[in-house]
Each structure stands twice: as structure tokens, then as C-alpha cells.
Amino acid sequence: MSSSFVYASVRTPFGRFNGALADTRADDLAATALKGLLDRSPGLDPGLVDDVFWGNANGAGEDNRNVGRMAVLLAGMPVSVTATTVNRLCGSSLDAAMMAARMIEAGDAEIAIAGGVESMTRAPWVLPKPSRRFPAGDVTAVSTTLGWRLVNERMPAEWTASLGECNEQLREKFSISRERQDEFGARSHRLAAEAWAKGFYDDLVVPVPGADLVQDESIRAGTSLEALAKLKPAFRPDGTITAGNCSPLNDGASAVLLGSASAAATIGRDPVARIAGRGWAALVPQQFGYAPVEAAGDALERAGITWDDIGAVELNEAFAVQSIACVDAWLKLGLRDAELVNAKGGAIAIGHPLGASGGRILGTLAARLVESGERWGVAAICIGVGQGLAVVLENVA
């Protein structure tokens, strides 16, 4: 087996729900990220890309009918370039990158692109097909923006609780206070704002044509603990999870260029990181937020290293409570400092457009390793319905 490498990554700015990207279709967001990635490597003939793997969680609206292939065509790539769309909910684009890496390592491809997209603003309402013609009663339209829909009646009720309720249960399990969650949320906004101000994201983000947005729209640079403490619980009257300590609804896309070692000459640039290990895990659905712990452990084992070796972590912050639970577990397993996690901010501030987040954290991790000179890093993400994914990167820049 040969190795696979990350050569480049980009993403769009992440827009707020009903925000600056609300008028942009999901397939156009995907094409923007894909074209932006190719523009980063002008020496690469797009026709030499062997395959495109594209993540998307909803897929019920303008992102239907294989949005990966739509992105290839809309980005102006040759019609001969193939593409597939991957749905592992929040982990879709990280899963896409893992699939692309496996294809390269197996020798079936030299160059592949992975990415993902979500327009949560434009996710449509859907209707189930009737069991017979012309039913007399009313029919309810169901939003496809987030969470369970059209649930099978045989599914146990505890498995189909809302994402917020699941994390309130996780908070009870690990005794994580509202104060810790608010501190984590405030940190995310502070670090994301600082990273943008210092130019870290300038080369990682491409603008969306026709949209007046140059930075992530959900970041609130002045967020304080006092302001967060005033927010009301969102899921339980006596709960601790608020709009300030969990990720918002967002629109955006991300893309990552992967290749073999020998692909450097064709791409016209050197790789920045090696895909050193991959991990995946599943728990009972209501504990999905904790699944990155086991997934990351498996990825580290496959890479042949331990938490003691890790110099950077990108964990998708779906909720502060699940992020804290994961970080606490990793510290017990040997992670040397909690400040290594999301040092450039996370999804609570930057946003979480479901299908795009895995590509974002992978690209950010590679850039952090280059900036810091650290050798090893982990990108990990929790996934609704009880799953988690993780990738270990080795800095080769």
C-alpha cells in the first residue's frame, strides 16, 4: 500500500442561517469550493483528477441528484471527471476524504478531491407520499434542516431524541456545568476572531460570487461570559445548553486536494500532510457526541502513535458539552494540553454546515501543523445517530 497526502484545502466563508449565503444554491457553493481548490494549483490539469468524493447530509433540495457531480460540472471541470456524493451526516466530508485516501493508497487513483457542502437555509420541507390516492386528511410538511424526520415507528424513542436533548443527557452523564460550556463557547469565538485578525484563514477561504461575505458570519468577537450566561436554555426549561454554547445552523462548502507521493509533479506543488491513520466508531445514538473518543483512539493506533505525540487537534464543536467530554477523555489518555484543541476557534463560532465541516477541520488541521511545525495532529467529528470519525495527519511540509 502506498501513502496518501493532503496537498491543499479551501472552503467558503460559513454563512449564518438566512444570512449572507441564503440566496446561493448548495450546488453553487460546492462549485465555488471546488473551483477555488483547483485555482490553488494552476499547474494541475483538472482532467487528471481521478475522482471526486463529496459530502452532503440533507440532499433533499437543490443538493439532490449527486451534488458532487453537479459541482464538477458547474466548476467547469471536464465532463470526464467522475464524482460521487457521500452521506454520513455531520461526518460526510471527512468520510469523503477517507474514501479518497483509500482509493489513492490502493493504487486506484493518483489524484482525488474530497469535499462537502450544506445549505441549511435552503433545505426544503418534504412530504411523505400517501399510502393511497387522494387522502382526505391534512398532510404535514417536515423540515429537512436538521435532526430526525419521518421516523420509523419501530425505532426506540430514546434513540430518536433531539440532538440537544442527547447532549443534555451527556451533560448529566459527565457532570459538565453550564459555566464550563459557556467558557468553551466564549473561547471558540475569541480564538476564531483572533485567527481571522491575524490572517490565518486568508489563504484557506475563497469568496462566494455574488455574496457580500469575506469572513465566517457567525463569529461574535466580543462574546463574553456575562452575555452567554443570560441566554435561556434551548432544549430543557432547566437545561444548560443554549444558543451560545452549541454550533449554529450554517451554509458553506469545503474542499481538499489529495494525491499520492508521485502526484506532486503533476499537481505542481508539494504535499503538506500525510494521511497517517483513520478511525470510525459507533455508540448508542443518544451518545453520538462522545463517539470521537473511540474513533480518534482507533486512528491513533492505526498511525502507530499515542496521544503523547499529538501537537494539534481539530474537533468539530457540535455542542460545547460533547466537546468538553471528548477533551476531558483525551487528557486522561495522554493529550498534553487542552489548548491544543481548536486553537483557531471551532464550529460554535465558525459554524457547522453539516456536509462541509469534516473538510473544514481537516484543512484547518493541516494548516495548523504547517504553522506550528508540530508533526502529528488529529481531526475528529461526532455524527448524529451515534457515530464518530477521526483522521491522523503527519506534517510533511
What is the SS3 string spanning 100-147? HHHHHHCCCCCEEEEEEEEECCCCCEECCCCCCCCCCCCCCCEECCCC
Tens digits of residue pLDDT in 57-115: 999 999 999 999 999 999 999 999 999 999 999 999 999 999 999 999 999 999 999 99
Radius of gyration of the chain (CA): 20
210 alpha-carbon distance from chain centroid: 24
The predicted structure's pLDDT at residue 63: 95
Residue written as cell 484547518?
364
List, in order, residues 6 or more apart from 130 with CB less than 8 Å away.
Answer: 139
What's the CA gap between 229 and 311, in Å, rounded? 32
* β-pair partners for 90: 88
List, in order, residues 6 or more apart from 202 with CB less than 8 Å away.
Answer: none
Tens digits of residue pLDDT in 177-211: 999 999 999 999 999 999 999 999 999 999 999 99
The predicted structure's pLDDT at residue 130: 87
Question: Do 251 and 14 touch, CB atoms closer than 8 A?
Answer: yes
What's the CA gap between 171 and 164, in Å, rounded? 10
What's the CA gap between 77 and 125, in Å, rounded? 32
Confidence class of residue 290 from pLDDT cuts 50, 70 and 90?
A: very high
Question: Do 26 and 122 touch, CB atoms closer than 8 A?
Answer: yes
Q: What angle, 0 to 180 degrees and rounded to 10, lies between the N-to-C axes of helices 163-174 and 320-333?
A: 40
Confidence class of residue 244 from pLDDT cuts 50, 70 and 90?
A: very high
The predicted structure's pLDDT at residue 360: 98
The predicted structure's pLDDT at residue 134: 87
Tens digits of residue pLDDT in 295-349: 999 999 999 999 999 999 999 999 999 999 999 999 999 999 999 999 999 999 9
**Which residues are marked as active site?**
90, 352, 382
Question: Do 269 and 39 touch, CB atoms closer than 8 A?
Answer: no
Question: Do 325 and 337 touch, CB atoms closer than 8 A?
Answer: no
3-state helix, strand, coil in the chain (%, to 5): 40, 20, 40
What's the CA gap between 289 and 397, in Å, rounded? 32
What's the CA gap between 355 and 119, in Å, rounded? 9
Q: Where are the beta strands (DSSP E) in 201-249?
A: none
Query: Cell numbers of 37, please?
Result: 481548490
What's the CA gap between 171 and 309, in Å, rounded? 29
Of 126-130, 172-176, 297-301, give the lowest mean pLDDT range. 126-130
Query: Cell numbers of 8, please?
Result: 491543499
Confidence class of residue 132 from pLDDT cuts 50, 70 and 90?
A: confident
CB atoms within 10 A of CB 41: 18
Upper half-sphere CA count for residue 181 (Cβ side, 13 Å)? 29
According to DSSP H, which parts of 136-239 are helical?
163-174, 178-197, 225-229
Q: Which helix (H) or strand (E) holds 205?
A: none
